[in-house]
Amino acid sequence: MTPPDLVVADAAVPGRDGRWTLVCAAGQVLELSPHDPAARFPEARVIEAKGQLLLPAMTDAHTHLREPGQEWKEDIASGLAAAAGGGFSNILCMANTDPVNDNESVTRLMLRRASEAWPHGPRLFPVGALTMGLAGKQLAPMEELLAAGCVAFSNDGEPVADTELFRHALEYAADLAPVIDHCEDPYMAKGAGANEGVMSARLGLRGQPDVAEALQVARDILLAEYLNAPVHLAHVSCRRAVELIADAKRRGAPVTAETCPHYLTMTDAALFGYDTMAKVNPPLRTDDDRLALIQALREGVIDILATDHAPHAAHEKETPFEDAKNGITGLDTALGSLWELVRLGQLSAEDIAQRFAWRPAEIFRLPHCRFAPGDPADFCLFDPEQSWVVTPETLRSKGKNTPLLGQSLTGRVTLTAVNGHVVYELARAGA
């Protein structure tokens, strides 16, 4: 048997009583066993967790790493740095680069940049464009993109308005890889960045009604059922969409869905003062929507969590509200912000593992760790009691555009390992 080379001792594990020791060798899990203080591993690096939570490293199915073409916002190296610091082992990055990732040369460039910058991970998995140039007129060469390394297809923030073309996309992709759809009616206050309601009226902003999202969710569900072809619904933000998805799942429709930490922890009240940092698409909704999403996540109606990490430069947010770019950076803060819901009893640590690690990896057929022998040694340590302040300096992403700036979070990733390589370790005070 290969001797252990990495050990995490004295860790708490969600769903299990007591303390545990994870033993790894050659990048794989050997065993997870009850902690024995007398056990010795002379040839291994032993990490003393001291009661911190041992979590499976997470998979983020929705990020924007901006390379090629918009490296002033983010590049693959800085995006993966943020991923490592956030506790992620797998990152899917969307196709809205410049040029668009609609051909194998762009896909291969992205993968090469990732392997050069972070050879041991986090792993990068490009999402290929669904249509050429994201223009919604002609399908992209999906088999070519799949062969080059793409694991899913999406038109991202440019949802396909032509339903006949979208139907063909679902049919063609059904035997290849999942289709991810950004659900937004292309004619109803597209990209407004504010929910249509009391807050938008108070601020005098053009708002987007939740029905703009629900219309597209309904179309996608009907097509998926009719064709028996799967579709994954991106960043669900409202109760109306949740109810449609719940009904579809009761009928057995091949539909999966995601939501994001900001839709679970914030409402459109964050726009008060015309805060462009809280401008995102789909927009932050009401507290009723937020509570519906939390319940849906607990019950599995919403399958997974994803950050929709969307970094922007400062000058792209320091504008009048209507001119500001949509998007919130999320890789650095995802787990810390969600942990407040765990503290409140609205989610559990097991929910986090299921919805942010295991289920997304299953949907997109990616490597993941359930701490079983032979699993990749992908894990993170999380200190649920450590408080930290979100500042430009504590964010590893180039994008500092988050409404959490200046706020204190309780709970922090202290170490991330991918395939048994420690790719991030928080510097200890005084060390």
Based on the domain organization, do 340 and 276 belong to the same domain? yes
Confidence of residue 35 (pLDDT cuts 50, 70, 90): very high
Based on the domain organization, do 270 and 172 belong to the same domain? yes
Q: Does 320 fall in a domain? A: yes
The answer to whether residue 357 scores a pLDDT higher than 80 is yes
Give me the chain's average pLDDT, please: 97
Q: Does 87 fall in a domain? A: yes
CATH assignment of the domain containing 37? 2.30.40.10
Q: Indicate whether this model's pTM tops 0.95.
A: yes
Q: Is 103 annotated as a binding residue?
A: no
Residue-wise pLDDT for 92-101, tens only, equals 999 999 999 9
Q: Is 64 annotated as a binding residue?
A: yes
CA distance 100 to 70: 11
The answer to whether residue 429 scores a pLDDT higher than 60 is no
Based on the domain organization, do 31 and 129 belong to the same domain? no
The answer to whether residue 396 scores a pLDDT higher than 90 is yes
Q: Is 281 annotated as a binding residue?
A: yes
Q: Does 118 fall in a domain? A: yes
Based on the domain organization, do 380 and 360 belong to the same domain? no
Based on the domain organization, do 99 and 165 belong to the same domain? yes
Q: Is 401 annotated as a binding residue?
A: no
**Total structural domains within the chain:** 2
Q: Is 35 annotated as a binding residue?
A: no
The answer to whether residue 430 scores a pLDDT higher than 50 is no
The answer to whether residue 400 scores a pLDDT higher than 70 is yes
Q: Is 65 annotated as a binding residue?
A: yes
Question: Phi and psi of 335, rounded to 5°?
Answer: -70, -40
Domain holding 30, by residue range, is 6-54+375-388+408-425
Based on the domain organization, do 415 and 300 belong to the same domain? no
Average pLDDT over residues 23-45: 97
pLDDT (0 to 100) of residue 427: 79
Q: Does 396 fall in a domain? A: no
Based on the domain organization, do 145 and 44 belong to the same domain? no
Average pLDDT over residues 46-56: 98
Task: List the one residue out of 413, 356, 381 whose CA is nearest residue 7.
Answer: 381
CA distances from 44 to 47, 375, 420 (A): 9, 18, 11
With 0-12 / 13-18 / 19 or more C-beta atoms within 10 angstroms meaning exposed / middle / buried, residue 44 is middle
Confidence of residue 261 (pLDDT cuts 50, 70, 90): very high
pLDDT (0 to 100) of residue 189: 83
Q: Assess contact for 145 and 153: CB atoms under 8 A.
A: yes
Based on the domain organization, do 154 and 128 belong to the same domain? yes
pLDDT (0 to 100) of residue 191: 82
Percent of the chain at pLDDT above 90?
Answer: 97
CA distance 348 to 345: 7
Which residues are tagged catalytic?
Answer: 308
* SS3 category, 31: strand
Based on the domain organization, do 46 and 63 belong to the same domain? no
Confidence of residue 190 (pLDDT cuts 50, 70, 90): confident
The answer to whether residue 313 scores a pLDDT higher than 50 is yes
pLDDT (0 to 100) of residue 1: 73
Q: Which residues of 66-86 are buried (b: 16+ CB within 10 A; e: fewer)?
A: bbbebeebbbbbbbbbbbbbb
Q: Is 175 annotated as a binding residue?
A: no
CA distance 247 to 388: 41
Q: Which residues contact 58 (CB under 8 A, 6 or more apart)?
A: 86, 87, 88, 89, 90, 334, 335, 356, 357, 360, 380
Based on the domain organization, do 117 and 46 belong to the same domain? no
The answer to whether residue 151 scores a pLDDT higher than 60 is yes
Q: Does 417 fall in a domain? A: yes
Based on the domain organization, do 259 and 119 belong to the same domain? yes
Looking up tokens 């009583």, which residue turns up? 17
Residue-wise pLDDT for 155-182, tens only, equals 999 999 999 999 999 999 999 999 999 9
Q: Does 370 fall in a domain? A: no
Based on the domain organization, do 176 and 235 belong to the same domain? yes
Q: Does 398 fall in a domain? A: no
What is the secondary structure of 82-95 as a DSSP string?
Answer: HHHHHTEEEEEE-S
The answer to whether residue 428 scores a pLDDT higher than 80 is no
Least confident of 78-92, 182-196, 213-227, 387-401: 182-196
**Residue type at 207 in one-letter notation:** G
pLDDT (0 to 100) of residue 431: 45
**Tokens read off for 95:** 């196709």
Residue 129, beta-bridge partner list: 154
CATH assignment of the domain containing 151? 3.20.20.140
